[in-house]
Amino acid sequence: MRIVIAGGHGQIALRLERLLAARGNEVAGIIRKAEQGDALREAGAEPVLLDLESASVEEVAAHLQGADAAVFAAGAGPGSGVARKDTVDKGAAVLFADAAVRARVRRHVVVSSMGADPEHKGDDVFDVYLRAKGEADRYVRGLDALDWTILRPGQLTNDAGTGLVRLEAHTGRGPIPRDDVAAVLAELLETPATAGLTLELVGGSVPVSVAVKSVAGN
């Protein structure tokens, strides 16, 4: 498959790029800064320089042309303010989905967040983040031209992955290593029957491949 990842230099994205490339896929990662390119090349991915905060739908769609799947893994990051939650966590997600529709790339996987909710209350930066992610998820779910899957991991850690997870519509809160999030994303991309599902992910006791197969088609 050819897979294009938005937020290609992110911690989950770099792990995912390594996994996908190792499986023989052709991977491209969208990045904002040219100096991030070497990290992608080391992961086996082709860097694509494009700012999703200023790019047009047409520009993004041009890079999605011919892809088999798209993954939205971009984020404004923990150090960013309220404004970028709207322009990246919501705005870029909406733009990327619209571009996928335009480029006719049906398979669309979104890395969201546990607790994402367009009706989430509160004015703290994290409240705004959860609302922005929820609004983006709602937008993607409304696009009939996409075979979308939305993944909502719990508290992300840099612990070594265990390959054992809990993946369900509702898991409750809990930690999950970024390694295991990437492994689940790679498996979701190869399991089109998970389209139409919004899934929560935390550490658990079920092997990744078994967990993905068990939710497929539900």
Active centre residues (catalytic): 129
End-to-end CA gap in the chain? 24
Burial class (CB in 10 A: 0-12, 13-18, 19+), 158: exposed
Q: Closest by alpha carbon to 197, among 133, 109, 116?
A: 109
Encoded tokens for 4:
């294009």
Bridge partner list, 126 = none
Question: Sign of torsion, CA 117 118 123 125?
Answer: positive
Encoded tokens for 97:
């989905």
Bridge partner list, 47 = 29
Task: Determine the Cα–Cα distance for residues 98 and 13; give it in Å rounded to an integer.
Answer: 20
Cα 110-112-114 angle, rounded to 5 deg? 145
Task: Determine the Cα–Cα distance for residues 122 and 119; give it in Å rounded to an integer.
Answer: 10
The answer to whether residues 164 and 203 touch, using CB atoms and an 8 Å cutoff, is yes
Task: Determine the Cα–Cα distance for residues 136 and 130; give it in Å rounded to an integer.
Answer: 10
